[in-house]
Amino acid sequence: MCTHLYQNGCNIRFQYTIVFLLCSYQVKPLLQVTNTEEKLNKKENELRQTTETLGTLRSEHETLKTENQQLTSDKILLTEQLRAEQDLCAETEEVHLMFQNWVLFYSL
């Protein structure tokens, strides 16, 4: 009788061990799936933030590009105006010198 109980006790322990191993093999993949889902959610959040940042930077880039084009146009216009004023100033200086020479010539 004692041998029979021992055999039954061993048999029960063996069954519990088998059940435990089966449960751990079933739970472990579920835990891995949960970890994988958490990592995937984290990467999706990072992607969303990066996409938002990219959109913001693209918008800012377009704004700066437009502003740069406007400033370049203004610079070209101001350069042309400056050149025209320099030409006018040079002509005025020539006329002034001619007038001074004329005054000196006729004052003698």
pLDDT in tens, 54-76: 999 999 999 999 999 999 999 99
CA 3 – CA 6 distance, rounded (Å): 5
Model's pTM, two decimal places?
0.53
For the chain, state the CA radius of gyration.
Answer: 46
Span 4-32, pLDDT tens digits? 444 454 566 666 666 666 665 555 666 67
CA 95 – CA 88 distance, rounded (Å): 10
Q: 11 is written with which tokens? A: 């048999």
Residue type, 47: L
CA 92 – CA 84 distance, rounded (Å): 12
